[in-house]
Amino acid sequence: MIKMKDLELSKRVKELRTSKGLSQEELADISNLSIRTVQRIENGETVPRGDTLKRLAVTLQVSPDEIIDWKTIEDKNVLTLLNLSQLSFLAFPLLGIIIPLAIWIMKKDKVKDVDVTGKAILNFQISWILLLFTFYTLIGISMFFHLPLIPFSFPFIFLIIAGFYAYNLILIVSNTIYYHNKKRVRYIPAVRILK
């Protein structure tokens, strides 16, 4: 008897194969699997595991988790927690990376959309820290070498730093609200470190 989750997996493999423009024969040939194995997977008669799963993932240019996507669950609470965990940057800037990173590592394979959202968050927070660190470095160089890299006035410097923090805070809160309203979450600007 074919289980529902096996049918979903077989449908997923077929969708991935056709999206790459491959026939069953081509998929079998490129992945070094037998045509019968590919047919059995797509008919829901067998579930790819181990080496077979790895070969399919490499050939279809996806992660093994994307093939067995049916194992992931939807959990809005985890995604909300992931978004709000960035607020820890207010206590110490690096916590805005460390806490979301921990949640992402623990839940990326178990909860739907955590992998994509987590990467976007981490890319943004890393970019934000790099910009903040660059600004602090420019202040230090300006003060130490008496260079006019940054106009040296405490109100100006305070406003720039406050602006960095305010932008991060506003982006976190607005994206959390967007997520709850089922709108697209965007963390920009961000250097794509995690892809």
Tell me the pLDDT tens digit for each residue of 40-76: 988 888 888 888 888 988 998 887 777 775 456 778 8
Domain containing residue 58: 4-71
Residues 108 and 131 in one domain: yes
Residues 100 and 21 in one domain: no
**Gap between the Cα atoms of 194 and 181, Å rounded:** 26
Q: Which of 56, 71, 86 is the last residue of a domain?
A: 71
> Exposed (0-12), middle (13-18) or buried (19+): which is 117, by Cβ within 10 Å?
buried
Question: What CATH code is carried by the domain that includes residue 49?
Answer: 1.10.260.40
Residues 100 and 176 in one domain: yes
Q: Which of 71, 86, 121 is the last residue of a domain?
A: 71
**Gap between the Cα atoms of 94 and 80, Å rounded:** 20
158 within domain boundaries? yes
188 within domain boundaries? no
Residue 192 backbone class (left: φ over 0; alpha: ψ -120 to 50; beta: rest): beta
Confidence at residue 134, expressed as pLDDT on a 0 to 100 scale:
93
Number of domains the chain contains? 2
pLDDT tens across 78-134, in order?
Answer: 999 999 999 999 999 999 999 999 999 998 877 888 888 999 999 999 999 999 999
Residues 64 and 85 in one domain: no
Q: Which of 43, 71, 99 is the last residue of a domain?
A: 71
